[in-house]
Amino acid sequence: NICKYLGLPTTCNGLLGISNVAALFKTWSEHPAVALHYNSQIQIRDMNPLNHLVRLPEDYSELLNTVSLFTCPNSDREDSRNPTMCLTCGEMLCSQTYCCQTEINKILVGACTYHSHTCGAGAGIFLRVRECEILLLASPNRGCFLAPPYLDDYGEPDQGLRRGNPLHLSEEKS
């Protein structure tokens, strides 16, 4: 781990914690080259707090139970029951269907892409609940799937819920 090698904290919170960022900013702002460009009377009083993802339940079956009655808000068809949770705000969306498409700059996009545009400034992280996989979106046409933070008793993810083993939130992956 390069952070450990450099003597830096090895967690995101440790690296980007308010005290570390404030100390780094103070060091940077006191550099003579920077001081020439900025008025010394300007003071930064408070930094924005770090964002956090929504808290997920320990047991994946709890999450499945909460979405068991999910239906698309725009359609009552059976094929539109594909709940996807925004991990930034916790909102439940209908995904990978045509029923919830919306236009952004005259381009038709799905519910998750539209939500990532409004909630995450174009970037989004979602949990596709019935498929047990993470969806990362970076723009209207860029995204990928990742293994979920839920693992079975053998320490393996069950993307697609094919094996049917009980899944629990992994502390390492969450």
The residue ranges of DSSP E strands in 107-148, in sequence order, are 107-109, 124-128, 133-139, 142-146
Q: Environment class of residue 166 by beta-carbon count within 10 Å: exposed (0-12), middle (13-18) or buried (19+)?
A: exposed
pLDDT in tens, the chain (174 residues): 676 776 777 777 776 676 767 777 777 777 776 665 555 554 545 554 556 788 999 999 999 888 887 777 777 666 556 789 999 888 888 887 777 777 778 888 888 888 888 887 788 899 999 888 999 998 777 889 998 999 998 888 888 888 888 899 988 765
**Its pTM surpasses 0.85:** no
- Residue among 62, 109, 71 at smallest CA distance from 93: 71
pLDDT score, position 85: 92
pLDDT score, position 80: 55
Query: Where exactly are the structural domains of the chain?
Result: 2-35, 60-169
What element of type H or E holds 45? none
